[in-house]
A and B are shown apart, each in its own frame.
Chain A
Amino acid sequence: MKMPVPDGGIIARRRAIVDALRAIVPGEGVIVDENELRAYECDGLTAYRQLPLVAVLPSTVEQVSQILKTCKDMGVKVVPRGAGTSLSGGALPLADGVLLGMGKFKRILDIDYANRCAVVQPGVTNLGISNAVAHEGFYYAPDPSSQIACTIGGNIAENSGGVHCLKYGLTTNNVLGLEMVLIDGTVLRLGGKHLDQGGYDLMGIVTGSEGLLGVVTEVTVRILKKPATARAVLIGFPSSEQGGDCVAAIIAAGIIPGGMEMMDRPAIHAAEAFVHAGYPLDVEALLIVELDGPAAEVDHLIERVEAIARSKGCVSARVSTTEEERLAFWAGRKAAFPAVGRISPDYYCMDGTIPRKALPLVLQRMQEMSARHGLRVANVFHAGDGNLHPLILYDANKPGELETAEEFGNDILRLCVEVGGVLTGEHGVGVEKRDLMTDQFDAADLEQQQRLKCAFDPDGLLNPGKVFPTLHRCAELGRLHVHKGELRFPDIPRF
């Protein structure tokens, strides 16, 4: 993975940059000590590490604005960071860049039940929002598995999902308003407590932009009433094809479950050995289908799902009868990553989306790749929306094995694209999948995306080296080649 070559001129001006930042954020808010900077050298994608030039931890919007304007004026790159839980290296620092940590923005500003929304600072954790409104029976719907640690600001950057997003949407579907700061220090408000923005849907572009367009300083999210009931069915199948068929049949029956997760045999065994959730060990695919809503609806749908599962040849189907049992069904799935961590020194978590119908083919090809690369793979799968999380098992202490795991991962993601899917369903492109972007997008597609970035960040200072495999100057991207003359297709009908 090649990052942009650090600018020696910027590194040589480190003292002046630090002084400029200290003039904005006094005291301990500017971090220069190497040991202290270690805390920021990587995010959740720990294979890549880099000390930033300097880290700055502002606590007001005004400071963020001044920092960004100063960096723009001095030509210094900026890497924004929330809790640093990104799995794609979105917050990987740059040797010649300022790391802008938003961790001090921890306040919940307003909980407005009458408008069914909460206004929070970006450093509030995802779960912190749900906890703050839980006593009124509300919650914030997107629930990435890092929700205890990840921040809403990071969720905006990555457009985070979770196991419930087929029914309740990703971050982008649950955000009502943003305050953000552009690289030139301009503070903008998009949306608010009302629905839709007037004008272009810039909120839709900023959400999931991986810190390349601006720095979010305030977020208004929709909060929902908790479903009255939730029950889950644990269904075992002798083959992943049957599991996949069952998922398709549930959706074809008009049922959108609150959660619908699938695990393959290696993942089932690892999870069961770790948390003893009571998973059947003699199946190839295990499906957890959770129905939530009013009790009458859940009871009705549980019966229908059971019937569908039987018609698709399930070998076991258990319905949760108590809340404890429902949570036990989930315990194995939620612990799948650490469970795999117990059976392998290291694992590498991938995140592609496929059309669900391609699942048997993809699993089969993955087994072939596994044999070829000599590495095991376990699969957990957000089955409802086709989002695969293959976990590649490797040992970083064995020379070359990390590289092999990455190559295996790249092969999987290319396969996702080949069958009509995409590189990432919820983890983001970051540095991890950056060089695969050309497998999904043509040059024209990527150039248009980069032109849009130029509208926000004309000097390319915000989080460069992420998302786009090739950096272009905005002037070059904006150049227009106009060929004077007649239509080449004179046969276009005209009236």
Chain B
Amino acid sequence: MTITTLKPDTAAQAAEAVRWALSAEEPLEVLGSGSRRGLGRPVQAGHALDLSGLSGVIAYEPEELVLTALAGTPMDLIRPMLAERGQHLAFEPPESPEGGGTLGGLIACGLAGPRRISAGSARDHALGIAGVSGRGELYKGGGKVVKNVTGYDLPKLMAGSFGTLTALTEITVKVLPAPEDTATLLLFGLDDPGAVGMLDRALRSPYDVSGAAHLPAGVAARSGVATVAGAGGAVTLVRVEGFGPSVTARVALLREELLADAVLGRDESLAVWREVRDGAWFGAPVSGPLPNPPPPAAGEGAVPDTRLAPSPASAGEGWGGGNHLWKLSVPPASGPGVLATIQRTLAVEAFFDWGGGLIWLTAPPDSAATIRAAVGANGHATMVRAPDAVRAVTEVFQPLPDPLMALTRRVKASFDPKGILNPGRMHAGV
């Protein structure tokens, strides 16, 4: 298939490109930097609409808590700009392993990290959008202020729609103060139900826990953080963040409440939650534990240990390993039960985030039916990494019940009646 890439420099050009595609009845693969092409189903399109030319921050007003940027603006540009003013995207989006990634891609993929449980997801921070519908029309939705209920909340619909509704050209996001300090309490040696029970206790406390994960022994051993890898068994993580005196006080209270075994200071805490955020331990086909890195240097100004386990290969692209990576969202208390059900028939490796509500797991090929049967109607399972050929023939996203699928198709058609934008990326025919 001959691939032509259209790379507009302006929103008007992007609209023109979509109108051309519409008239030629040629579907477009909508791309930012392409760093997340491995998420979702592969798009069958002869042409790509590359929006990375629409780059630049239009307005950043820290005191208003908003940032407006063209959709193709690299996250590598936005992140330091926010950090310089002590702010961040509070939903803790995963970072592309090789760097890269654009604001538009981040919102379109609807990604969020461990702080999802307290700060919400990408959808909760998407305030305004502009873009080109599959009708080739430029339009906008939402606003550029943090509180707005005027009209339908289209930015939320765009978050996680994988470019199937609109080629985004501009995005306004809510930005929030980044925590001044952070620490993580560790509990050693708990089994899955016991760990999720303790995470529940932590999350039921009034201490604003912002991360709650559990790493079974095999996963913990692969952490690049020595205290975690060296625990010699399962490790349960409870994170607190905020102002220094508050973190100190809450760590003391939680340590007593949870009978925690150890506490990670700022740098180790940051390192281990990066691993949780990116599912870093499942970066390559599982082939036994990596050698433990030496303990990080102690003392003031110590450089965080960056010798972490290998980061995930480019999601799907060129990744030919045996096992596939999944993320399951379930009611937190049922997480251990869902995993146990899966483990009765499949050899999988897994860890929990979101207090038990998010299960990352690597499973052998052809596990979709077993995984989804275990999740049932109370949650959803997404295949987040597998070779293109596998994702092309697998329901990557949770199949929807018929009435919801029918509505989904109508929603798609209301933005993109001819199926020009990223056809099939989410569901066949959507």
Min CB distance A304 to B, Å, is 9
A324 to B393, CA, bound (A): 63
Further contacts, 15 of them, CB under 8 A, given A448-B137, A449-B154: A115-B331, A186-B407, A194-B329, A197-B380, A198-B380, A201-B110, A202-B404, A202-B411, A205-B157, A252-B63, A354-B145, A355-B61, A426-B149, A437-B150, A452-B415
Contact with B along A217-240 (1 / 0, CB 8 A): 000000001111000000000000
Q: Which candidate, B117-125, B218-226, B255-263, is the interface stretch facing chain A?
A: B117-125
- Which listed residue (A355, A480, A494) contacts B417, Cβ 8 A? A480
CB distance B380 to A226 under 8 Å? no
Given contacts A197-B380, A200-B161, A293-B208, contact A115 B333 (CB under 8 A): yes
Residues in B with CB closer than 8 Å to A420 are 144-145
Q: Is A126 an interface residue (CB 8 A)?
A: no
CB distance B146 to A194 under 8 Å? no
Q: Which of B327-345 contact A (CB under 8 A)?
A: 329-334
Q: Is B207 an interface residue (CB 8 A)?
A: yes
Most buried by B among A166, A420, A478: A420
Given contacts A198-B398, A448-B415, A495-B5, contact A487 B404 (CB under 8 A): no
Q: Which candidate, A17-25, A273-281, A381-389, is the interface stretch facing chain B?
A: A381-389
Given contacts A357-B63, A482-B23, contact A113 B408 (CB under 8 A): no
Q: Is B44 an interface residue (CB 8 A)?
A: no
Q: Is A297 an interface residue (CB 8 A)?
A: yes
Nearest residue (CB) in B for A254 is B177
Contact with B along A108-127 (1 / 0, CB 8 A): 00001111100000000000
CB distance A199 to B398 under 8 Å? yes
- Which listed residue (A116, A252, A454, A494) contacts B204, Cβ 8 A? A116
Min CB distance A152 to B, Å, is 16
Q: What total of A-B pairs shows CB separation below 8 Å?
A: 307
Residues in B with CB closer than 8 Å to A456 are 407, 410
Q: Which candidate, B70-78, B92-100, B245-253, is the interface stretch facing chain A?
A: B245-253
Nearest residue (CB) in B for A212 is B152
Residues in B with CB closer than 8 Å to A112 are 331, 333
Min CB distance B329 to A, Å, is 5
Given contacts A114-B200, A193-B378, A422-B150, contact A487 B333 (CB under 8 A): no
Q: Is A207 an interface residue (CB 8 A)?
A: yes
Q: Is A353 an interface residue (CB 8 A)?
A: yes
Q: Is A53 an interface residue (CB 8 A)?
A: no
Q: Which of A368-383 contact B (CB under 8 A)?
A: 382
Q: Which of A143-167 contact B (CB under 8 A)?
A: 158-159, 161, 165-166
CB distance A251 to B332 under 8 Å? no
CB distance B17 to A487 under 8 Å? yes
Q: Is A170 an interface residue (CB 8 A)?
A: yes
Q: Which candidate, B7-15, B277-285, B384-392, is the interface stretch facing chain A?
A: B7-15
- Which listed residue (A116, A170, A193) contacts B149, Cβ 8 A? A170
Given contacts A201-B156, A294-B207, A425-B147, contact A194 B411 (CB under 8 A): no
- Which listed residue (A137, A252, A489) contacts B206, Cβ 8 A? A137
Classify chain A's interface size. 35 or more
CB distance B147 to A209 under 8 Å? no
CB distance A387 to B147 under 8 Å? yes
Min CB distance B310 to A, Å, is 28
Q: Which candidate, A309-317, A331-339, A391-399, A438-446, is the interface stretch facing chain B?
A: A438-446
Residues in A with CB closer than 8 Å to B248 are 296
Q: Is A301 an interface residue (CB 8 A)?
A: yes
A454 to B414, CA, bound (A): 7
Most buried by B among A228, A382, A426: A228
- Which listed residue (A227, A293, A353, A356) contacts B143, Cβ 8 A? A353
CB distance B146 to A386 under 8 Å? yes
Contact with A along B109-135 (1 / 0, CB 8 A): 010000011001101100000000101
Min CB distance A442 to B, Å, is 7
Min CB distance B165 to A, Å, is 8
Q: Is B358 an interface residue (CB 8 A)?
A: yes
CB distance A452 to B152 under 8 Å? yes
Given contacts A159-B153, A489-B16, contact A294 B246 (CB under 8 A): yes
- Which listed residue (B86, B143, B177, B243) contacts A297, Cβ 8 A? B243
A190 to B123, CA, bound (A): 15
Given contacts A199-B400, A482-B22, contact A385 B147 (CB under 8 A): yes
Nearest residue (CB) in A for B378 is A192
CB distance A424 to B148 under 8 Å? yes
Q: Is B382 an interface residue (CB 8 A)?
A: yes
A-B contact list, 24 entries, CB within 8 Å: A137-B206, A170-B147, A172-B156, A173-B120, A188-B404, A190-B404, A194-B329, A194-B331, A195-B357, A200-B408, A226-B206, A297-B245, A297-B246, A299-B245, A385-B147, A386-B64, A424-B149, A441-B151, A449-B154, A452-B415, A455-B411, A467-B151, A492-B13, A493-B7
A188 to B242, CA, bound (A): 39
Given contacts A158-B149, A423-B150, A425-B148, contact A228 B206 (CB under 8 A): yes
Q: Is A2 an interface residue (CB 8 A)?
A: no
Q: Is A93 an interface residue (CB 8 A)?
A: no
Q: Is B176 an interface residue (CB 8 A)?
A: yes
Residues in A with CB closer than 8 Å to B415 are 448, 451-452
CB distance A444 to B411 under 8 Å? no
Min CB distance A88 to B, Å, is 9
- Which listed residue (A186, A294, A356) contacts B208, Cβ 8 A? A294
CB distance A429 to B6 under 8 Å? no
Residues in A with CB closer than 8 Å to B398 are 198-199
Q: Is A135 an interface residue (CB 8 A)?
A: no
- Interface size for B (C-beta < 8 A) is 105
Min CB distance A231 to B, Å, is 14
A226 to B208, CA, bound (A): 10
Min CB distance B428 to A, Å, is 13
Q: Is A208 an interface residue (CB 8 A)?
A: yes
Min CB distance A480 to B, Å, is 6
Residues in A with CB closer than 8 Å to B207 are 228, 294
CB distance B177 to A255 under 8 Å? yes
Residues in B with CB closer than 8 Å to A251 are 62-63, 65, 177
* Minimum-distance CB pairs A-B, first 9: A204-B156, A296-B249, A297-B246, A198-B380, A198-B398, A254-B177, A193-B331, A455-B410, A114-B333
Residues in B with CB closer than 8 Å to A199 are 397-398, 400, 404, 408, 426-427
- Which listed residue (A165, A486, A495) contacts B4, Cβ 8 A? A495
Nearest residue (CB) in A for B141 is A445
Nearest residue (CB) in B for A88 is B149
CB distance B152 to A386 under 8 Å? no
Most buried by B among A114, A173, A357, A494: A114
Given contacts A207-B153, A422-B143, A444-B137, contact A495 B123 (CB under 8 A): no
Nearest residue (CB) in A for B15 is A489
Q: Is A256 an interface residue (CB 8 A)?
A: yes
Nearest residue (CB) in A for B50 is A495
Residues in A with CB closer than 8 Å to B156 are 172, 201, 204-205
CB distance A356 to B63 under 8 Å? yes
Residues in A with CB closer than 8 Å to B86 are 254
Q: Is B322 an interface residue (CB 8 A)?
A: no
A434 to B16, CA, bound (A): 31
A482 to B9, CA, bound (A): 23
Most buried by B among A195, A297, A440: A195
Min CB distance B383 to A, Å, is 12
Q: Is B313 an interface residue (CB 8 A)?
A: no
Min CB distance B332 to A, Å, is 6
Residues in B with CB closer than 8 Å to A386 are 64, 145-147
Contact with B along A328-349 (1 / 0, CB 8 A): 0000000000000000000000
- Which listed residue (A166, A194, A424) contacts B380, Cβ 8 A? A194
CB distance B413 to A455 under 8 Å? yes
CB distance A182 to B407 under 8 Å? yes
A350 to B153, CA, bound (A): 21
Nearest residue (CB) in A for B402 is A186
Q: Is A421 an interface residue (CB 8 A)?
A: yes
Nearest residue (CB) in A for B144 is A420
